Structure 1
Amino acid sequence: MSRVLVIESSARQEGSVSRQLTRDFIAQWQAAHPADDIQVRDLAVEQVPHLDANLLGGWMKPAQEHSEIERAALDRSNQLTAELQAADVLVLAAPMYNFAIPSTLKSWLDHVLRAGVTFQYTETGPQGLLTGKRAFVLTSRGGVYAGGALDHQEPYLRQALGFVGIHDVTFIHAEGLNMGGEFAEKGLAKAKAQLAAIA
């Protein structure tokens, strides 16, 4: 049995293409792997605060010096990190907002990319501690950006995931969704076909 962690980050609950892709992924994955445990964390419903002094204090101060707010911030980071550590498969649903990922997803990453916990610094450079995991990133985009200079999603997420040791990463882009008609339909159909092949 594998554990699958799904991270939703779309601000929209209705009409969200990234959420549609996630639903398709979960249905197909469950059909192919019925014994797997799937956990969904919705960052639009349970928002993760931005990195702030309270979280930094929770990370850096001795436990006996923590304020209640710092302790709560550390507990939240520990919970999110533990979910990621326990997962065998990570699924990130990431609509493109202003050429990049949603700020909610960035906040989640800021809570789980932790020195000494999910990566460590060595004499030869940083080393990821979350090896052996697979990741799938499901994006939705109004235009066509894959492989271009304006795509700040895929390069950033590949780097962030690789930094913690997750190098087996598959991207599925639903592109051209705001370009209308047949173009949008083809973009979504292509993404759905790729999803079906994965499961």
Structure 2
Amino acid sequence: MRLVHSSLHQEVADRLRERIFDGGLAPGVFVDEIALCEDMGISRTPLREALKVLTAEGLVRHEPRRGCFVAEVTEQDLDEIFPVIALLEGRCAHEAALHASDADLQELEALHDKLARSAKTKRINDYYATNFAIHEAIIQLAGNRWLAQVITDLRKIVKLARLQQLHAPGRLEQSLSEHLAVFAALKARDAEGAEAAMRTHLTRQRGALRDLSRGQRTRIAS
């Protein structure tokens, strides 16, 4: 499929990012420029510009004289990233509690009702989608584009890990409880409470991912 676009390298970057996130380009794999150019019907120039974009995002690493490889996320990376995300999204919740209108809170309430229904019926994919929408809504309500930009960039790195923390035993119910605590603080216009609840939510999310990873390693070893 040939790509035609006024900003071709950005379109190529979007396509490659999608392949990375859906597993078409696995962590650690060599990025075969010749094969990709043939597959996409493009020259090396827009591909290399696209790879520069993904390298800047941390999704690809470049090794001199060897080429590009899809980045791999380690447990240490996650241990370092999650406290930062918790800090940033906590600040978003703080600002959202101060800025949210009654109409904003009604929309958030509808999302939380949907989240609760997904948890009750164990529809994990629906839960993930609604969970993401809630986080995005709170970030937007904070009204700070710099916070939003940094959070988006960090999320891309976390997404590389391809771990689903809601599969950890009891995590679905715990996650819902944490979300409801954040929302309760938002409704009460309790900025500090919302910030603390959001930071707790993301810290426990990291703990669930760590437990899940340990369980996977134990099963492999046995």
Q: Taking structure 1 as the reference length, what is the TM-score of the superposition?
A: 0.21
Please identify the structure whose Cα radius of gyration is greater.
Answer: 2
Query: 1 or 2, which has the higher helix percentage?
Result: 2
Query: 1 or 2, which has the higher strand percentage?
Result: 1
Q: Taking structure 2 as the reference length, what is the TM-score of the superposition?
A: 0.19
